[in-house]
């Protein structure tokens, strides 16, 4: 049995450190051939792929942003999220205060690839907000 602290593994993993393979296994794009992957005392093969994937969120280093509003980019994690949910996750991701300083607030256009808000820290936190909006950090199967 091999135990891995995934938070540490992914936070500090170097290039070619099998991050992609681990993610493919966690998302069950294929199952392990030997052993098992246990999350919260459950073998991931014992839960549906749909519920497993809803419960996992990935925060990439380089977040793709749409040429739309900050609110729209946050909602990409769950398109039907309410304005209150967007506000809540923005506060959790510690970006609300920055967004509030923009003249258009959450309706500020980010521009192509986030160029209009570059340098504010908003770009990087948007992927965290998407995961929080999705509910991946709080869902349980």
**If pLDDT is split at 50, 70 and 90, which confidence band does 2 have?**
very low
Collapsed DSSP state (helix, strand, coil) of residue 39: strand
Highest mean pLDDT among 4-8, 60-64, 105-109: 105-109
For 56-104, strand residue ranges (E) read: none
**Tokens coding 141:** 């199967």
Q: What pLDDT was estimated at residue 40?
A: 78
Residues 134 and 86 sit within 8 Å (Cβ to Cβ): no
pLDDT of 126 above 70: no
Q: What pLDDT was estimated at residue 104?
A: 93
pLDDT of 103 above 50: yes
Considering the chain, what percentage of its residues have pLDDT values greater than 90? 6
Give the tens place of pLDDT for each residue, 11-55: 444 555 577 788 788 888 888 888 888 887 888 899 999 888 877
For the chain, strand residue ranges (E) read: 38-39, 42-43
The average confidence (pLDDT) of the chain is 74
Residues 85 and 106 sit within 8 Å (Cβ to Cβ): no
């Amino acid at each position: 049995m091999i135990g891995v602290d995934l938070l540490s593994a992914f936070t500090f993993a170097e290039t070619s450190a099998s991050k992609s393979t681990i993610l493919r296994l966690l998302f069950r794009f294929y199952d392990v051939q030997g052993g098992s992957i246990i999350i919260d005392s459950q073998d991931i093969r014992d839960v549906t792929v749909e519920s497993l994937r809803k419960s996992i969120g990935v925060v990439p280093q380089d977040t793709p942003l749409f040429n739309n509003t900050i609110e729209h980019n946050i909602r990409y994690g769950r398109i039907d999220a309410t304005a209150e949910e967007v506000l809540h996750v923005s506060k959790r991701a510690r970006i609300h205060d920055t967004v509030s300083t923009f003249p258009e607030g959450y309706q500020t256009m980010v521009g192509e690839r986030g160029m209009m808000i570059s340098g504010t820290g908003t770009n990087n936190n948007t992927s965290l907000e998407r995961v929080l909006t999705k509910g991946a950090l709080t869902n349980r199967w």
